[in-house]
Amino acid sequence: MSKNGTVIIGAGQAGYQVAAQLRVKGYAASITLIGDEAHIPYQQPPLSKAYLKGELQGDRLPFRPETFYGDKDIDLRLNERVEHIDPAAKTVTTAKGSTQSYDHLVIATGGTPRKIPVPAPLQAKTFTLKTRDDADALGEALQGAQSIAIVGAGFIGLEVAATAAQAGKAVTVYEMQDRILARVASPAVSTALQARHRAAGVDLRLNEGVDLDALEADVVLLGIGGVAVQDLAETGGLTCDGGIVVDAHMRTSDPAIFAAGDCAKSPTPFWDAPIRLESVQNAIDQANLIAEQIAGNAEAKAYHAVPWFWSDQYEVKYQLAGLIPQRTDLVQAGEGTDGLAIYHFRDGALVACETLGNGAEHMSARRLLEQGSAPVSQTDLKEHGTLKAVFKSRR
Ligand SMILES: Cc1cc2nc3c(=O)[nH]c(=O)nc-3n(C[C@H](O)[C@H](O)[C@H](O)COP(=O)(O)OP(=O)(O)OC[C@H]3O[C@@H](n4cnc5c(N)ncnc54)[C@H](O)[C@@H]3O)c2cc1C
């Protein structure tokens, strides 16, 4: 039995999941979950969607009620920031001055929005969105506002654009690229979603950098991506490179320390190089693999989960299974926001599938990618139209 148990830094999606799964797997030693926010662990996806809209109340955000942590003998410490890790002594020290020893340490500190200098007069009306407190502040500002300017047409910016447009605000989105979601989605997806945003009255300014000083909107949201929170790992001497570098078992350069979720840069069979992903799936699956090992499975398989992701804008659900390499051969089925599917092939194998309003194809693609080899060819798809139809033809 380990003496000092497991300490987890960051009480978000991955940190919560490690703690909960350790108990599911019968881990009996102590678990300390340390988070610098005031709230018990909660889900972030609704913050730009149903919660910001006011359709989902705050008491529905937490993964579990507060009693869960006591019941499971998880020492949840909120409002407490870890300031230092000492891998040689196997201790962490918090801002409150408490020092905690560990046998296993998990760093799950997440990501933080990328920031740019904001002129002083604009600071009071300029927001980023990552935490529940951020969402509360943005929501409050929006209530009294007529207009919002959103800098960056990534997922978070666009989800807030949809939410604000539906609330009757005048929304302008500034994007330097020539299409929305340029770094993450196919042109056909961008085209379909651009039409949906414009139909809702959103003023999409593409190819347009922004001069913050010139913005006249009542509220400004910066949605220009995020970076890993890796300062603790760096000062603790762990290898970092645009994320805390981990191996295929989520171990950092110190064998007693794991990292998971938005802060970790890990190998995956679905990408040529280690990659940092920001998704619920990634945080949960990496956390599960860590819990399995700490709970005693020395034979745990290397990380191999199929990456997947979703985004909700208006009534439209975008879903991605797999990861999209720069160059792929595409097959497109359907169009528009209700039923579009884009299949990405590389060297004849399906590597990713994007859908709009087509959950069935998303699930088929995930199943196919999980099987490891992709026995559906471009010819099959072109002939039958969808993965579902290909499978049906083989029955
Ligand atoms: C608005 C929004 C919408 C999203 N929508 C989607 C979606 O639709 N689909 C999807 O798949 N993903 C979505 N995501 C992404 C998803 O929520 C994240 O990928 C996921 O939460 C990552 O989990 P994590 O545990 O790595 O980080 P987080 O959940 O961010 O948790 C990290 C925690 O660590 C804390 N922390 C950091 N440093 C310290 C320290 N030194 N001491 C103590 N605590 C510390 C942080 O404050 C934070 O509470 C969304 C994210 C946001 C912000």
Mean pLDDT of successive 10-residue segments in the chain (395 residues)? Answer: 88 98 98 98 98 97 98 98 98 97 98 95 96 98 97 98 98 97 95 98 95 94 97 98 98 98 97 97 98 95 97 98 91 91 91 96 93 77 87 80
According to DSSP H, which parts of the chain are helical?
Answer: 13-24, 50-53, 67-71, 132-143, 155-166, 187-199, 231-235, 280-294, 359-370, 378-384, 387-394
Ligand 1 binding site (Cβ under 6 Å of any ligand atom): 9-15, 34-37, 44-45, 47-48, 81-82, 108-110, 129-130, 156, 229, 232, 261-263, 278-281, 283, 309-311
Q: Which CATH number fits domain 115-222: 3.30.413.10, 3.30.70.100, 3.50.50.60, 3.40.50.720?
A: 3.50.50.60
What CATH architecture does domain 315-394 belong to?
2-Layer Sandwich (3.30)
CA–centroid distance, residue 14 to ligand 1 (Å): 8
Instruction: Name the segment(s) of the chain with CATH classification 3.50.50.60.
Output: 6-112+226-294, 115-222
Kindly list the distances between the CA atom of residue 291 and the CA atoms of 7, 192, 300, 303, in Å, as whole numbers in the listed order: 12, 40, 10, 13
CA–centroid distance, residue 61 to ligand 1 (Å): 13
Closest ligand 1 atom to 281 CA: 11
Residue range 6-112+226-294, CATH number: 3.50.50.60
Alpha-carbon distance of 174 to 206, in angstroms, equals 6
CA–centroid distance, residue 200 to ligand 1 (Å): 29
Kindly list the distances between the CA atom of residue 343 and the CA atoms of 154, 296, 304, 320, in Å, as whole numbers in the listed order: 21, 39, 21, 10
Alpha-carbon distance of 30 to 346, in angstroms, equals 46
pLDDT at 373: 56
Name which residue sits closest to atom 41 of ligand 1, judged by CA. 82
pLDDT at 382: 86
pLDDT at 229: 98
8 Å CB contact between 169 and 147: yes
Can you give the pTM of this predicted structure?
Answer: 0.97
Q: Residue 377 is which amino acid?
A: S
DSSP type of residue 92: E
Name which residue sits closest to atom 7 of ligand 1, judged by CA. 45
